[in-house]
Structure 1
């Protein structure tokens, strides 16, 4: 699980053309803390790259993703990217380790 906070870092992940998950995490929200723990457990054994950003420290990146891909910003929020596009996203209490694993088998 790698922390990113710059648009250039995100663009590198997109350019690699490999599937990856990205968590938009709020440092002050208890729901986000729970989602972060689920994401962390998932990332420890995932067969996919995993990234996260702290919304308070990466607002420009968070806004860039929402504007570029037309996915309304929420926090916490996980997006799954394949072929350079978000193909799935979930927010708040829907961010569970099992839900993330299911995306890998789809």
Structure 2
């Protein structure tokens, strides 16, 4: 599996209008906790459906997009943070040690 980098407001708007599930992972490249959570997620991501879109947001480069995500999906900004989106709505919002493939699967399956 691979991440799709979130780099524009248009991508976020597309996710809001996308049918089915997708995952957004918000990551601070300056935070060791965020790095550890990302690495743990990537070790298990082969358990996710192969067609599941996985989006990665670098918070340091794109704080404006993080703010848009918080506003559009009605969540508080956190880092690291995983959002599971279904049909344009956030159905799961987890941060720090709660972020895991198992938690994502709990709502996807």
Do the two structures share a fold, i.e. TM-score over 0.5? Answer: yes
Structure 1, unaligned runs of 5 or more:
none
How high is the TM-score relative to the length of structure 2? 0.86
Pairs aligned (count): 105
Q: CA deviation at 1:85?
A: 0.5
Q: CA deviation at 1:62?
A: 0.4
Q: Does structure 2 retain, via aligned residues, the 8 Å contact 1:42–1:101? A: no
**Corresponding residue of 1:36:** 38
Q: Does structure 1 retain, via aligned residues, the 8 Å contact 2:27–2:59? A: yes
Q: CA deviation at 1:102?
A: 2.0
- Quote the RMSD (CA, aligned, Å): 1.5
**Corresponding residue of 1:21:** 23
How high is the TM-score relative to the length of structure 1? 0.88
Moved >6 Å (runs of 4+): none
Please give the per-residue CA displacement for 1:49-73, whole angstroms capped at 9, x wherever unaligned: 1111000111111001112222000
Q: CA deviation at 1:46?
A: 1.9
